[in-house]
Structure 1
Amino acid sequence: MTDRKAIDILLIDDHIMFADGLQSILNSNDNIGTLKSVTSAEEGYQLIAQEPIDLVITDIGLPKMNGIELIKKVKARNITVPFLVLSMHIGRELVKEILYAEAEGYLLKKAGKVELLNAVDRIVNGGTYYGSEISSIMMDLINDKKPNKLKTRAELTSREREILQLICRELSSKQIASELNIGVCTVETHRRSMFQKTNSKSVIGLIRYAVENNLAMWD
């Protein structure tokens, strides 16, 4: 991974053998700082509410409160920690649930080590990561939800729209800053402004807004 800052990660998975393997992969990278692992969403929520965490990696099928319910609960409290969902399953309804919970990433458990570390790197640097199979379903779902009448796209400044288009291309804040020759703090300021204007709680929420308002552009 490219970021030199130590990354504090919380792993939530009730399959101990899988969680142990995932911890081994993550600990092999020098950028990982603190890595904590719990087996339930309830335990995870308590840690998220009490401690600074850079990324939560969670399974979906957890006992009692599932992973999607956890994401919604955390986002409802405006806690800004990003989520990477790991699952063995893929399907239109599942992708829809994760998309509208506004998880920053979704990766199938069959993914390899390199893709996992790339996903972690991109998300902690302010981007998103949805596997290729998942991205295709996600874009179909967003396009299906396009309203007949556009929302108030004039709310965003020209610079904000420019940054939003780069966000849709899955660039991190650092990459956007380099592309536009501005500071990372400036990018983050614009992101916070867009969150407020679009009533979004995550980068995925901004992408949804962009697609629904014909502001998204891909190469």
Structure 2
Amino acid sequence: MTASIKVLLIDNHPLVLDGLKAILETYDHIDVVGTAANALAGLSVAVEKRPAVVLMDINMPQINGIEALELFKEKLPSTRMLMLSMHDSREYISTSVMHGASGYILKDVATDEIVAAIEAVASGGTYFSSGVYDVLMERNRDMAQALTSREQSVLLMIAGGKSNRDTALTLEISERTVETHRKNIKRKLGIATTAGLTRYAIENGLIER
């Protein structure tokens, strides 16, 4: 018999939360170990229950789901995060991925797709509902076109953990030029941190994990 997947649900809308719980509990291999109305309460439950998957809304009080992703990743690095949202905007989707979400599905998808997403991320994969995947791929194409070949080289060096000095020596340019490229890359990709740039490179297959 296949082991059940422990799932935690976080949403500040009681009807959504109760409905999801009731539906998912009809699947023998899904074990809803808890629910929470906000991310901080959900984190406390997650630390206690150790779910395999957290299914979390984005728009919530106190801190939103995207902000909460890093807290979950810090406390529970092995727990997989799956975002459930009504928003299919590039900003929400890409930011969720950059902060560590393994999947992103829209609230209007069929129940079977939610279950498929839970199964996929629980097994170590990723899952994006079709509309979300299209938005993500379009954004990645835009980004690839936005970066010059030199900026792409600098990005690879940064993501590989190289310092500005090492990058400058390898590419035979000045450290000041490297810093300028770094700032331009962050601006074009909309990513503020070096960790974010590294995650972007990994997620897009530019470097290995």
The TM-score, its normalising length taken from structure 2, stands at 0.69
Q: CA RMSD in A?
A: 2.5
Where 2:50 maps in the other structure, the secondary structure is coil
- For 2:156, the aligned partner's letter is K
What's the % identity of the aligned pairs?
A: 28
Structure 2 equivalent of residue 134 of structure 1? 132
Q: 2:64 aligns with which of 53, 63, 66?
A: 66
Residues 146-185 of structure 1: matches in 2 within 5 Å? 146=144, 147-149=151-153, 151=156
**Shift in Å, 1:37:** 0.6
**Shift in Å, 1:140:** 2.7
**Shift in Å, 1:206:** 3.8
Aligned residue pairs, count: 163
**Shift in Å, 1:46:** 1.4
Q: 2:37 aligns with which of 39, 61, 67?
A: 39
Q: 1:81 aligns with which of 59, 79, 82?
A: 79
- For 1:97, the aligned partner's letter is T
Where 2:61 maps in the other structure, the secondary structure is coil
Q: 1:205 to 1:112 in 2, by over 3 A?
A: farther
**Shift in Å, 1:62:** 0.8
- Residue range with higher mean Cα deviation, 89-98 or 45-54: 45-54
User: Is 2:121 aligned against 1:117?
Assistant: no
- Residue range with higher mean Cα deviation, 117-126 or 3-12: 3-12
**Shift in Å, 1:205:** 7.2
- For 2:88, the aligned partner's letter is I
Where 1:28 maps in the other structure, the secondary structure is coil
- For 1:53, the aligned partner's letter is P
Residues 8-47 of structure 1: matches in 2 within 5 Å? 8-47=6-45
Where 1:62 maps in the other structure, the secondary structure is coil
**Shift in Å, 1:82:** 0.6
Unaligned runs of 5+ in 2: 145-150, 161-196
**Shift in Å, 1:133:** 1.0
Instruction: Check conservation: 1:82, 1:104, Cα contact below 8 A.
Output: yes
Unaligned runs of 5+ in 1: 156-197
The TM-score, its normalising length taken from structure 1, stands at 0.66
